[in-house]
Structure formats: C-alpha cells, structure tokens
Amino acid sequence: MSKVKNVLFLMADQLRADYLSCYGHPRLHTPNIDALATRGTLFERAYVQSPVCGPSRMSYYTGRYVTSHGATWNNIPLSAGEWTLGDYVRPLGPRVALVGKTHMRVDRDGMARVGLNGESEQGRYVAECGFEPYARDDGLHPDFIYDPDASYERYLRAHGYDGKNLWQDWANSGIDQDGNLLSGWYMRNARAPARIADEHSETAWTTDEAIGFIEAQGDRPWVLHVSYIKPHWPYIVSSPYHDRYGAEDCVPVVRAEQEKTAGHPVYQAFMHHAESEVFSRDEVRETVIPTYMGLIKQLDDHIGRLIACLEAQGRLDDTMIVLTSDHGDYLGDHWLGEKELFHEPSARVPLIVVDPSREADGMRGQRSHALVEAIDLIPTFVDALGGEVPYQRLEGRSLLPLLHGQTAAGEWRQYAVSELDYSFRQARRELGLGASDARAYMIATKDWKCVFYTHFRPQLFDLKNDAGELVDLGDIPAYQDRIREMREMLIEWLQTRKTRVTTTDADIDRLSAFAGKRLIGLW
C-alpha cells in the first residue's frame, strides 16, 4: 500500500547532474540533495525530452514527447487541447499548485476557439499549464519585457528594494566601488556578489513561497511543483555564495581539438553561437563556473530548509519527493555553451525520487541505471496517488516498479529519446534550413547514443568506451550497421507516438469483442 498523499516536485533550471556531490562532483557538496538520494533512488540515466527549457517542461507537464505535444521550443504555445499534470492529478484529490517557473506560453487562439479566457477556473488551468499559480514567476525579466506586477518584483518592492527593474538591478546585478551597476547579463561580472541579500534571492523567495503553501495546506493533500529559476543564467549569486568557489574548484573541461575539425555540420554551427564561443575561453569558464557552483550551493541550502519544513509538518512520511532539472549546461564542454544538443552535460539531468512507501525501502540509497525520461514523472505521480495511469495519452511509464525494485532486466525501455527543434537558432540560418527542417532526435541505449538530423548525417557515440563523447563515429563505415539498428528504433518510436488519445486499448478490446456481431456481411 502506497503511503503517498502528497508530491513535492522540485525542479531546478539548467542544473547539470554532475554538479551535485551525489552524482560525483568532487568539490561542490550538496548534502541536502544528497540526503534525498540516501532516502530514495537516484537515477544515473535520466534524460529530458528536449534540452531546452520550454519543450522540456512541456514534456514534464504533459507526460508526452515533444513531437506529441508540439511545443517544440521556448515560447511556442502549448495547444489548449493538451492535457497536463493538473488534469491527471486533480481528479485524484490533491490541490495542484505551482511555485516558480513553468515557461508556459498561452495558446490564445486555441482557448478562444473553445470560449475560454483566463477568468474561469478551467481557463486559468489551461493558461497555466494545469497548475494553480500559487506563486508563478518565470525569472528572466530584462527591461524590454519588464512587468512591475511580476510576483517576485512585487515581493522585492514589499521588502524595501527600490528602483524600476528590481529583478534585474538587484537580484541579478552587482555593484562596483564607484556605485556602478555590474549587470549579471555580462558574464565578466559573474564573480561580483548580487546586490540582494540571500534571504531575498530568487531561490530564497521560491523556497519561502513553497513553505508558505505547505504550512497552510496542513493535512489536505497536495501536489506542489517547486520550480527554481536557478542555476540558470544570469550567472550571479548573492553573498556568501559568490566567493565560495574559485577557479581551482572547476572540474576539467571536456573537449577535444578533433571535435572542432571533424565536426558535424549542425554541431559545427552550434559552435559558432555566441554562447559557445564565449564558453570556449578558459577565462570565461573560470569566472562563470564558480558562480554556477555557488548558485547550486545556495539551492541546496534552501532545499534543506524546505525539507526541514516538511519534516516539521510531519509530511515526510506521506510525501513523495522528486528532484530534477529541465536540462543541463554545457559550460564550455564540447566547445559549447548553454544546452540544446544531446551530449550528456545537456540532455542528461539529475533525477532523485523519494517514495515514502514501505515497498520502496529496499531501494533507498540505491542507484538505478535504467533509461528513464522526464515524461515518466506524471505516470509515477498518478500511480503513487492510487490512480489508473491513462496510458492512451501519457507516453512515459510509472517509475514505481523501479522504485520498488520490481522491474527485471529487459522489462524496461531499451532506448531513451530526446528531440530538438533548432529553427529559432542562428545555426538554422547558417545552415540555410527552412523553419520546419531544423529537427534532431537522440536515441540513447545502454551503451550507445545516436543523433539523427533532418538533412544531415547522424552522429554516433560509444558511451562505454568514450564516456566523454569526444569521438563521433557517425561517418565511419564500420559503424553503419549500428546506426541502421538505432535508426530502426527511431522509426519504431515515430510510429508509436500516442495520438489515439480518447480511447484506451482496454476500451478497444472490450468494444471489439462485438466485432463478430456486426450488421454487415449477413446474407
């Protein structure tokens, strides 16, 4: 019997798995997150459905691959007809709320078509990706989209901060000795402390809001998505985290000269992006990475506060806790910055699940090497909360069998899939592609990773013998059989996307039992 009554669904933004000590970082200690791993299961091979905020999150929130939900890049509206976490979980009883970021963009045309606006309850849910926006803030508030009413902006104003764009000029800027702003938009300023006090940082605010929700909710069940905006750039952090780490704490960059010269056309074009060129400079890495680490340390400390609140409220025993990220961060590895492509620093994320049920006791502190995906979370939540998983629509799989140690080898999926639509990026223009031709698909198996591109040859990496993914075997004749085999996986995957969403297989089995009683064919 599951004891799960609540779900605390923690997400960080742009958090690389290997920047947590439980995933092996040698210098950055994250004891609070590590404690979750001790109490739950840590997944070594968790992939996002697209290594970009918007599409990745839409997969987390819909339980469907990017090709299926269609919101293929940031700011592409999620179709009003796509079901989300709230649609699946709310009927089971819990209040389903959001603190922090979703990157949801409203499908205004689709809402208008069914007569919805943001005023009705249904309209609010559709507009907010299924969540009750208890405290939504997507972060990233440059001047040209400044909104004085943003939650965090109002919070800072209430706490006495003064100015026009407090998020930008206080939370994400430092100041020099002459009183000049050191904008966090410029990475050269990364080592400056943010002007804001840590207790008013975005990470602190998000945590406070979450604590407020949990305390107010008391014994009533909930699913709370606590979605931190950090360690996503601007890379700047408040004291004392700003100088906690130095260049000597940086792990070595993972890159090789031959990647540049023998580069794949799409990969090469991504290397030409501004963020890749800047992160290829050691000076930039040594300035930015210590601050990135500081942001993660800050996150870990505040997660500690949040878990302490759960404990104080007596919620540890009936709350499933999940910690993950929407994608990683290249940080100069492979001569790249940011994310989007499919190397492990980008497409792989941390995933730790604590299931308080007795059935999970045998897996506490264990590490699973199963290929798991972001879309597995909704089925896991529905399953843990005692619901029937609507697999006619959800494309992931409940992790409960893995969490309970009940999955035999060979029973789990044999490959993970991630996708990219880079039509918005400079690389697409450099390659002269149309806006519908800039697609890529990753197929990752236990030992191999193959990336298929529309109009270009695939990339192939031998994960077993080349964990750093430094040697692309994609154009080597001896590996074409392997590529063909993995292409068959891609084709199988393309053919099995779930679009027959209004009818279950069980419905069909039931209804088709009458197939012999049709009225045609009678003489």
Query: Which residues lie across from 355 on neighbouring strands?
Result: none
- Please give the residues from 207 up to 236 whose contact with its own copies meets the rule CB under 8 A: 233-234
The least CB distance from residue 515 to its own copies, in Å, is 5
b/e string for 222-245 if b means 16 or more Cβ within 10 A? bbbbbbbbbbbbbbbbbbebbebb
The least CB distance from residue 417 to its own copies, in Å, is 13
Q: Regarding beta strands 6-13 and 366-373, do their DSSP bridges make them parallel or antiparallel, or are they unpaired?
A: unpaired
Identify the residue among 5, 25, 57, 273 touching its own copies (CB under 8 A): 273
330, with CB counted inside 10 A (0-12, 13-18, 19+), is buried
Identify the residue among 136, 225, 397, 425 touching its own copies (CB under 8 A): 425
> Of the two residues 27 and 90, which places its CB atom closer to its own copies in the complex?
90
> Of the two residues 77 and 458, which places its CB atom closer to its own copies in the complex?
77
The least CB distance from residue 69 to its own copies, in Å, is 7
Identify the residue among 34, 87, 243, 475 touching its own copies (CB under 8 A): 87
The least CB distance from residue 438 to its own copies, in Å, is 9
Q: Regarding beta strands 439-444 and 416-421, do their DSSP bridges make them parallel or antiparallel, or are they unpaired?
A: antiparallel
Nearest to 140 by CA among 266, 46, 54, 259: 54
- Please give the residues from 145 up to 174 whose contact with its own copies meets the rule CB under 8 A: none
Distances (CA, A) of 186 to 182, 192, 425: 8, 11, 20
> Of the two residues 23 and 60, which places its CB atom closer to its own copies in the complex?
60
Q: Strand runs (DSSP E) across 307-447, as ranges?
A: 319-325, 348-354, 366-373, 416-421, 439-444
The least CB distance from residue 180 to its own copies, in Å, is 17
> Of the two residues 21 and 67, which places its CB atom closer to its own copies in the complex?
67
Sheet (strand 319-325) strand order: 132-136, 95-100, 222-231, 6-13, 319-325, 348-354, 41-47, 366-373
- Please give the residues from 304 up to 343 whose contact with its own copies meets the rule CB under 8 A: 337-338
Are residues 384 and 7 in contact, defined by beta-carbon separation less than 8 angstroms? yes
SS3 378: helix
Identify the residue among 11, 20, 80, 323 touching its own copies (CB under 8 A): 80
Identify the residue among 454, 467, 476, 484 touching its own copies (CB under 8 A): 454
The least CB distance from residue 366 to its own copies, in Å, is 32
* Spatial distance between the Cα atoms of 162 and 142, rounded to a whole number of angstroms: 17
Residue given tokens 């943003």 in the structure block: 150
Identify the residue among 1, 409, 478, 515 touching its own copies (CB under 8 A): 515
> Of the two residues 136 and 439, which places its CB atom closer to its own copies in the complex?
439
Residue given tokens 């939540």 in the structure block: 381
Q: Which stretch binds its own copies (CB under 8 A): 42-50, 244-252, 289-297, 491-499?
A: 491-499
The least CB distance from residue 281 to its own copies, in Å, is 8
Q: Which stretch binds its own copies (CB under 8 A): 5-13, 301-309, 460-468, 489-497?
A: 489-497
Identify the residue among 34, 35, 79, 262 touching its own copies (CB under 8 A): 79
Does 497 help bind its own copies (rule: CB under 8 A)? yes
Q: Which stretch binds its own copies (CB under 8 A): 42-50, 295-303, 362-370, 431-439?
A: 431-439
Stated as kind and residue range, the H or E segment containing 260 is helix 257-261
Does 424 help bind its own copies (rule: CB under 8 A)? yes
Length of the chain equals 523
Cβ-proximal residues to 445 (8 Å cutoff; 6+ apart), any chain: 371, 414, 415, 486, 489
> Of the two residues 247 and 506, which places its CB atom closer to its own copies in the complex?
506
Helices (H), 282-408: 282-312, 344-347, 377-384, 400-403
- Please give the residues from 382 up to 421 whose contact with its own copies meets the rule CB under 8 A: 421
Residue 301 half-sphere exposure toward CB, CA atoms < 13 A: 15
Q: Which stretch binds its own copies (CB under 8 A): 122-130, 375-383, 398-406, 458-466?
A: 122-130
- Please give the residues from 56 up to 75 whose contact with its own copies meets the rule CB under 8 A: 67-72, 75
* Spatial distance between the Cα atoms of 170 and 175, rounded to a whole number of angstroms: 9
> If you ran DSSP here, which 8-state letter would residue 77 be given?
P
